[in-house]
Amino acid sequence: MKRSLIVISAVAVLMFPVICLATPPVPGPYTSIFAGVNIPENSNATSNDFGDTYNDQVEFDAGVYTGGAAGFDFGLMRLEGELSYRYADLKSITDTSDGFQFQNVDGNLGALNFMANAFIDLHNASPITPYFGGGVGFAVLDLSDTFAGAPSQALLYPSGTDTVFAYQVGAGLELALNQMFSLDLGYRYFNTGKATFEDHPAISTKMKLESHNAMVGLRMKF
């Protein structure tokens, strides 16, 4: 552990003069890639199971958030299109009518997102540029077959896919490395409409994805 901290500290010290001497990128087209962590909020799920309705609260584990974007930097504002993916495993399911919590939950929820974003860049004399903004678009939510129970498992939510409205807001810091490359440290709050998963002929489930996302990206200016 000590050796790792020494290496990280040495790299940070060596990079500091480079970052300090860098200048903010000039306006123009750019692309970016990013990766981070997706931390979903609890979601209220409604299931119609052979005519009976059940209301649950679903808790998720933290998952991945990754993607890329392409856009144009106008100086004060950036406009971009984003393609990203979020994924999380279901951690627990609780029946809200009686508080019963199902054990050994096995399932996951993924979201393929297509977003149109606008960000305001607060340029200054330093190579560090704060920014804020958001975007709208749609998300293709994909729910896997979800089982729960012990010792045997029962199917609670059959798999399904639905496309719903999505939006996000966020902020971050751009750290210019040179005229072409910069690092992006950001936060995104992401929310979707409620999706309906009804691939099963007799069972349908409604659920949405609401999450907090921290990401690290690399932006390249042309």
CA–CA separation, 168 and 134 (whole Å): 5
Spell out the residues 6+ positions from residue 141 whose beta carbon is closer than 8 angstroms to its own: 109, 110, 111, 161, 162, 163, 164, 192, 195, 197, 207, 208, 209
Token pair for 113: 């997102």
pLDDT of residue 15: 46
Say what the pLDDT of residue 150 is.
Answer: 73
- Residue 189 has a pLDDT of 98
CATH 2.40.160.20 fits 2-221, yes or no: yes
Instruction: Name the 3-class secondary structure at 207.
Output: strand
Take residue 111 and report the two structure tokens written for it: 């979201």
pTM here is 0.85
- Which residues of the chain have a pLDDT value below 50? 1-2, 4-22
Which pLDDT belongs to residue 17? 46
Signed CA dihedral, 21, 214, 66, 76: sign only: negative
The chain-wide mean pLDDT, for the chain, equals: 90
In this prediction, residue 214 carries a pLDDT of 98
Does a cis peptide bond (omega within 30 degrees of 0) precede residue 151?
yes
Give me the residue spans of the domains in the chain.
Answer: 2-221
The pLDDT value recorded for residue 157 is: 95
Residues 131, 68: Cα–Cα separation, whole Å: 18
User: Encoding tokens for residue 172?
Assistant: 């971050």
